[in-house]
Amino acid sequence: MTRHALLAFCALSLLGPVSASAQSRDWSAASGEQDATLGIRVPKGFKATVFADDMGRVRHLAVREDGTVYASLYSKNKDGWLIALTDGDGDGSADEIKEFGSFGGTGLALYKDWLYFSSDTTIGRYKLGEAAVPTGDAEIVVSGFPSQNQHATKPMTFDDQGHMYVTVGAPSNACQERARTPGSPGLSPCPQLELQAGIWRFDANKTGQKHGEDGERYATGIRNGLAMDWNHSANALYFIGHGRDQLQQLFPQYYTAKQSAELPAEEFHRAQKDGNYGWPYSYWDHQRGERMKGPEYGGDGKTPAENPDFIAPLTAFPGHWAPNDLTFYTGDAFPDYFRKGAFIAFHGSWNRAPLPQQGYNVAFIPMNDAGEITGDWSIFADKFKGEEPLASPRAATHRPTGLAVGPDGALYVADDAGGRIWKITYDHR
Amino acid sequence: MTTAKVLITLFLASVLAGLLPANAETVTGKAVYEQHCLSCHQADGGGVPMMQPELWGSRRINGPDTALIDFVLGGSASLPDEERAYSNEMPGFDHLSDAELAAVLSYIRSRFENDAPAIAARDIAARRSEM
């Protein structure tokens, strides 16, 4: 966290003293050792197993009370868009794997006795029975999301009051008159904000809803809040969005290749109802600790955003790391330091080129029961890339995409490059 | 600088130039690629899985000149849905000059496992006038 961001954060919340144990021990991946067969590195005292491998483009995860792991797929496998995995002998490796589901994509969540999932335009659900694979047909919960190519996935999360929150990404980089064209100005107002680039709230229990007719816009100005989770302890929605791309390619007069690789930040927020997070008019510069005016809207890399309604992030990560999932640690099997904190799966960058690509890790933000950040973020699991430096995303061995906490407190991590799912446990050593 | 020094400098420069790729278009093509193409298609032309296609041995790049030029001038928005295997849209590059487009297309056609003839600026101008 930069000094400015830390100051801003202190002003926003009452920062409690960081516990002695958190300061005295390094809980980052750097304290551990890399295991070549595992493909990743986790902190000392933790253990990871390959729960499943070569599963295809695995994205988000959900774990049922009985330990069944569900995974969604970005593109369909032979027998379906969803996977159910069970580990009958409890050795940390799934021994029964079944594909099912007639449509899908990235979003996946459990709510009551239902498994919710989504394609790019529709959210459906399956009623779960005793068996791992549901037997009935899917019900349609919400349909009518605009068909779009960029930022099209529709992840969902649920609060305790019967609401479902759905991210609807922006169909562009920065709402330019001419998409991704150097110097092209931004549309003002940006019409994409009407039905996209925000988080919408729907009735969690009602089928047959339509985007644009049912539900309400909960928060706006979010380019792609793909990593999103309800924090049941703080009773609030959190997300970390994908910042805009290509500052240097589109505005070479204002940005160097190095600035373009680092900027803008990936912003971690506690969503406020009707909150505005500034896209496409602005972006967060974590090096300056300031929200800046976007170059499509008269900015030059040095001019702060004027609109005081644009909300500052709680903390921020370097540019283009691509947060793909967020989950709060609700278990009690990990050390106290991790309780109520946030894990973030970073898919890893592509547009830091020509500089080496970064991200490709699972980060952790320590938090308290009230959902306030209590210390600096760190990298919890890394070495997913497989090579260092990584020139191109294509060469990465693994790319983290999904996270879920099991009933036994284990953390599951999915990857859509190697199709691997890891189970991470704490074994006290 | 004396005339002799100028002559020596010119001589050395010409020797050095002879050691480098002689084709001025290659040099310009590389610069255009780095500024306008590399961030999406990557330094090795490998693209980004799910987002931007690789340029390696591309049917479109090695195909007819006119179709390739039209595609780069107009961008990927005109593609039918079934050809949209990648999430990002490629913008049209009609804001680049005929010489820049000819240079970068010739550059791409001569590497990344592609093998097709160079494209001339007049070919770009001809397609542009049709649009």
**Where are the domains positioned within chain A?**
3-426
Residue type, A370: A
pLDDT attached to residue B57: 92
Q: How confident is the model at residue A36 (pLDDT cuts 50, 70, 90)?
A: confident
Q: Which residues contact A354 (CB under 8 A, 6 or more apart)?
A: A257, B34, B38, B43
Q: Do the Cβ atoms of B43 and A353 come within 8 Å?
A: yes
Q: Looking at the domain covering B23-130, what would its CATH class be?
A: mainly alpha
Q: Distance between CA A296 and CA B34 in Å, rounded? A: 22
**Where are the domains positioned within chain B?**
23-130
Q: Which of A15-24, A125-134, B60-69 has the lowest mean pLDDT?
A: A15-24
Tokens of A142: 């919400």
Q: Which of chain B's residues have a Cβ under 8 Å away from the Cβ of A183?
A: 95
Question: pLDDT tens digits for A198-218?
Answer: 999 999 999 999 999 999 999
Identify which of B36, B46, B89 has the shortest CB distance to residue A149.
Answer: B89
pLDDT beyond 80 at A117 = yes
ipTM reported for the complex, 2 dp? 0.80
CB B101 within 8 A of CB B93: yes
Q: Do the Cβ atoms of B39 and A351 come within 8 Å?
A: yes
Q: Distance between CA B53 and CA A397 in Å, rounded? A: 19
- The topology (CATH level 3) of A3-426 is Neuraminidase (2.120.10)
pLDDT attached to residue B5: 57
Identify which of B39, B54, B75 has the shortest CB distance to residue A249.
Answer: B39
Q: Do the Cβ atoms of A252 and B35 come within 8 Å?
A: yes
CA distance to partner chain A, nearest, from residue B89 (Å): 8
Q: How confident is the model at residue A23 (pLDDT cuts 50, 70, 90)?
A: low
Q: Is A187 helix (H, G, I), strand (E, B) or coil?
A: coil
Output the pTM of the full model. 0.90
Tokens of A218: 């909960």
